[in-house]
Structure 1
Amino acid sequence: MDGDDGLDDLRLRIAACRICRDQPARGPAFRLPHEPRPVAVLSRKARILIAGQAPGLRVHRSGLPFDDASGDRLRDWLGVDRATFYDRDRFAVAAMGFCFPGYDAKGGDLPPRRECAPAWRPAVMAAMPSVDLVLAIGRHAQLWHLGARAEKTVAATVRRFGDYCRVNAPPMVMPLPHPSWRNTAWLRANPWFAEDLLPLLKSLVKDRIA
């Protein structure tokens, strides 16, 4: 623990949250169909917040964020190993939805639950005053952290990464696509991501975890 009773209390309240099961925003027919298991890593000291969409099934089972192939790719993008990634003094992880939302009819993950961000995001952000870099992964995180500055698609928003990084008011927001295998074709079709964005991302991360 960080030795901060307020943050410890917030962690416990998040862990006990069952709002998506017991008070679904769209009514009883849309309640989460499985037992919630909120996954979040909060920190008073971390300067980097990884703001993804929602945990996948593997993370739901393990309780460890990005404990999958997507996490391996993300760590490669950041230029860090697993031990560094899971050091709570260096990285906080708080997705827009804390629980695995289930699958859609095509077998893809559903969007983050509507109940989660309005209920928890303001308190989570207020509890982590050291965060000065937000890695906004995917559409929902980008809309929350960039607001009207986000473009109409993830691809267009990510392409403008340089504009967002030049904004002086903290925290800096770096938009990223999801590191899923589903985006491999997009990554190959957009070499600027590896050539231009990733070197800057690695530099920003290195400066904050040294």
Structure 2
Amino acid sequence: MEQLLQNIKQCRICDAHLPLGPRPVVSAHPDAKIVIIGQAPGTKVHASGIPWDDPSGNQLRKWLNVSVEDFYDATKFAIIPMGFCYPGKGKSGDLPPRKECAPEWHELLFDELKQVELILLIGAYAQKYYLGKLAKKTLTETVKNYNDYLPRFLPLPHPSPRNRFWLIKNKWFEVEVLPTLQARIKKLI
């Protein structure tokens, strides 16, 4: 696993497309029981090199009901984005994750992660990649039907502050999904 993580951190596969240059961000350990698959690092995470080291990460930890120490304990949580580097700025936020990363690295990582019991799919990119045809037409429908994907997967919206209107509009998420999420996390860590 250590060699694989070093290989990922030295990856330059899409260097020409990265406005801030490559800085792959990933965290994993063979004992991890939970995998968090998000989109791609933002500028704050690119600068720090620490996954989810931003307001989205603060919100995600609240949703999971875990401490910072537990969250960054790689023996508990593997943190694997769809795109390992900051992809750049688009018209309405960051660009989508680069498409090279997941096919290049995810299978190799999962080959080392033999203890995984739960995979959190954060956002539409992760959900479409991992659920394929089982994903519903929209992220909202996929998240609302989270029971269809348990016990292996649990789809979530992105915890970005930009999604506050989605959370306001979809109160069922806090009432139905978060208690299930928190119970599963508590059991596994």
Q: TM (normalized to structure 2)?
A: 0.97
* AA of the residue aligned to 2:111: A
Which of 184, 190, 197 is residue 177 of structure 2 equivalent to?
197
* AA of the residue aligned to 1:155: T
Separation in structure 2 between the aligned mates of residue 33 and residue 202 of structure 1, nearest angstrom: 37
Assess if the C-alpha contact under 8 Å between 2:28 and 2:75 holds in 1: no
Equivalent residue, structure 1, for 2:136: 151
1:35 and 2:15 matched: no
For residues 21-60 of structure 1, the aligned pairs below 5 Å read 21=15, 31-60=17-46
SS at match of 2:90: coil
Separation in structure 1 between the aligned mates of residue 27 and residue 176 of structure 2, nearest angstrom: 29
SS at match of 1:202: helix
* AA of the residue aligned to 1:129: K
Count of residues in Structure 1 that have an aligned counterpart in Structure 2: 189
Unaligned runs of 5+ in 2: none
Give 1:148 deviation, angstroms: 1.0
Give 1:33 deviation, angstroms: 2.5
Please identify the structure whose Cα radius of gyration is greater: 1
Separation in structure 1 between the aligned mates of residue 45 and residue 56 of structure 2, nearest angstrom: 11
Give 1:149 deviation, angstroms: 0.4
* AA of the residue aligned to 1:93: I
Q: Deviations over 1:96-133 (max 9, x none)?
A: 11001010134x01000011111111111111111110
What is the RMSD of the two structures over their aligned residues, measured on CA atoms? 1.0
Assess if the C-alpha contact under 8 Å between 2:25 and 2:50 holds in 1: yes
Assess if the C-alpha contact under 8 Å between 2:31 and 2:115 holds in 1: yes
State the identity %. Answer: 48
Q: TM (normalized to structure 1)?
A: 0.87
SS at match of 2:94: coil
1:178 and 2:164 matched: no
SS at match of 2:136: coil
For residues 1-210 of structure 1, the aligned pairs below 5 Å read 7-21=1-15, 31-106=17-92, 108-165=93-150, 172-209=152-189
Separation in structure 2 between the aligned mates of residue 64 and residue 94 of structure 1, nearest angstrom: 12
Unaligned runs of 5+ in 1: 1-6, 23-30, 167-171
SS at match of 2:78: strand
Give 1:59 deviation, angstroms: 0.3
Give 1:53 deviation, angstroms: 0.5
